[in-house]
Every structure is written in structure tokens, then in C-alpha cells.
Amino acid sequence: MNDLVGLAIIGLVVLCGLFGLSRITKPYDVSNEEFERRAQEGPGLLGAGLVGIQKALDPAMEKAAEVQADFRQGYLDAEQESGDPPEAGDNGSGTVTNGEPDA
């Protein structure tokens, strides 16, 4: 008898969990004004807290966040960020030359 009661409780918990998940995943209507307001608000307090925790646990995440912020501002690479034009004779290949022609 105790086994049936335990199985019934486990079954009830599983059914309630499935019902809850089905309610959460249903789409809902959002007006254009509400969508724009939510987009302007940003991630919120919980999202900002999670980003802070992730930065503490994964130091590379901080650099990734900086790069994402640069992308949002329109910077595509580090050269654009510095604002300095490329130096004379820089061909962008990353090789260093002494200015003499190759023999």
C-alpha cells in the first residue's frame, strides 16, 4: 500500500511539472509599445547579477563583454577602436620589415 501512495505522489509531482512547463512555454501577445519598452530597459537586475557572477567565474567573459559592447557601438576591430590611422608602410599582414627590398 505504501508503494502505491509513493508512486501516486511521484506521478502527481511529474504531472504538475509537465503542466507547469506547458504553461510557461505558451507564447503570449506583446504590443509593439511594450516590446520597445522592454528592449530599452535592458537585461534587468537579475540578468546584470548573473553577468557579474559569470565574469567572476570566467575571466575571459569580461573580455567578451567588452568586445560585444564594441560591436554595439559599431567597432569591428581594435584598429577602429583606437582611432589611429594605420602607420605608413603597414600592409596589415602583421609582418615586420626593415624597409629594405627583399633580395
Do 87 and 97 form a contact (C-beta atoms < 8 A)?
Answer: no
Residue 30, C-beta contacts closer than 8 angstroms, at least 6 positions apart? 38
**Entry pTM:** 0.33
The per-residue pLDDT for 50 is 80
Spatial distance between the Cα atoms of 77 and 97, rounded to a whole number of angstroms: 23
Closest-CA residue to 99 (of 89, 87, 91): 89
pLDDT in tens, 32-91: 998 888 878 776 777 778 877 877 888 787 788 788 888 888 777 655 555 555 566 555
